[in-house]
Amino acid sequence: MIARLLAAGLIAGIVAGLAVAGLQHVTTTPLILAAEVYEAAQHAHDAAEATAPAFEGLRRTVATSLATVAVSAGYALILLAGMLFSGESIGPRRAALWGACAFAATGLATSLGLAPQLPGAAETDLAGRQIWWLATAASTGAGLFALLRLDAPAAKIFGAALIVAPHFFWPTAATPESTVPAELAARFAAASLTVQAASWVLAGALAGLSWRLISRDETEAA
Amino acid sequence: MTTKTAAIRSISGSRAETLKAAFVAFIVGLGLVYGAGFANSETVHDAAHDSRHALSFPCH
């Protein structure tokens, strides 16, 4: 069963990851490259050392695609694990819905406190932002589960509290200063959320589909 | 009676197997997302840089 689960997650991750990498190539990556021009100009102005990216050209595209495949496989496995834990019947439709809820937790809830940023945007301490992001995603995910899957009114109230609570602790930058033009930043925030939504829903749908196909093969063989 | 007990045992056994598999998948999945989205190693950060921004993970 473990092998079947890992295979389903991996297949879904590779297919969804490559599709999302293609989407990134035409939506978010051009905006990141444009923002880096402003960031580099600011660095040159400050006479600081030039920050050339370690990966460029084709290497950069390959590295980005691999990272996106890894994230998509991770998303697929997390969704399959969640569905198995809660005794859900796993198919493409239900898994895509789970993906949509996961996007609400890790994309919509976190973007309220930390808007998706381009390089050069105003920032606070990275570790603090990462901890807040992870805590918010986990808390919102648990809250949504309590609201949607548990029947007791107390559980629903607790779930709502879990969804609201992280937003009392946003990590806000002291001064909202950025080298990135507002127009680019706004387009990037929208593009990034779209890409993240696509990657969760696609990873979910494909994980559900490959789980069903692999399970059918196993049942026929047995 | 004996058959019933055996059946219950086998159901709870397969439930335990399901939970074990789900736990392994959860840990591997979390590891992949953490590695690509959050790990502080410079090489991993540089390789995953554009994906981190694109998938709205906190970056830099």
- Examine the pLDDT at A13 and tell me if it is beyond 70: yes
Q: Residues A54, B43: contact at Cβ < 8 Å?
A: yes
Q: Is the pLDDT of residue A174 over 80?
A: no
> Which pLDDT does position A43 carry in this prediction?
72
What is the percent of chain A where pLDDT is above 90?
A: 78
> Is residue A109 over pLDDT 60?
yes
**Residue A216 pLDDT:** 85
Q: Is residue A78 within 8 Å of B30, Cβ to Cβ? A: yes
The Cα A148–Cα A175 span in angstroms is: 39
Mean predicted lDDT score pLDDT of chain A = 91
Q: Which of B23, B38, B40, B50 best tests the A interface by mutation, with the highest count of A CBs <10 A?
A: B50
Q: What share of chain A is helix, strand, coil (3-state, %, to 5)?
A: 80, 0, 20
Inter-chain residue contact B21 with A2, CB threshold 8 Å: yes
Residuewise pLDDT in 10s, chain B (60 residues)? 455 555 555 556 688 999 999 999 999 999 999 999 999 899 999 999 999 999 999 987
Reported as a single tens digit per residue, the pLDDT across A29-61 is 999 999 999 888 877 766 555 555 667 889 999
Amino acid at A110: T
Give the pair of three-digit tokens for residue A21.
């990498």
Inter-chain residue contact A67 with B59, CB threshold 8 Å: no
Sign of CA dihedral A93, A99, A119, A55: negative
Q: Do A84 and B19 touch (CB under 8 A)?
A: yes
Q: Please, which residues have CB within 8 angstroms of residue A178's CB and are 6 or more apart in sequence?
A: A120, A121, A122, A185
Query: Does pLDDT of A63 surpass 60?
Result: yes
What is the pLDDT averaged over residues A108-129? 91
pLDDT band for A177, please (50, 70, 90 cuts).
Answer: confident
Residue B38, both tokens: 């959050």
What is the dihedral angle through the alpha carbons of A29, A34, A35, A37, rounded to the nearest 10 degrees?
A: 130
Contact B58 A133 (CB under 8 A): yes
How confident is residue A145, by pLDDT bands cut at 50, 70 and 90?
very high
Specify the pLDDT at position A147: 96
Check if B16 contacts A (Cβ < 8 Å): no
The residue assigned the tokens 């297919």 is A15
ipTM of this predicted structure: 0.91
Query: The tokens of A79 are what?
Result: 């969704």
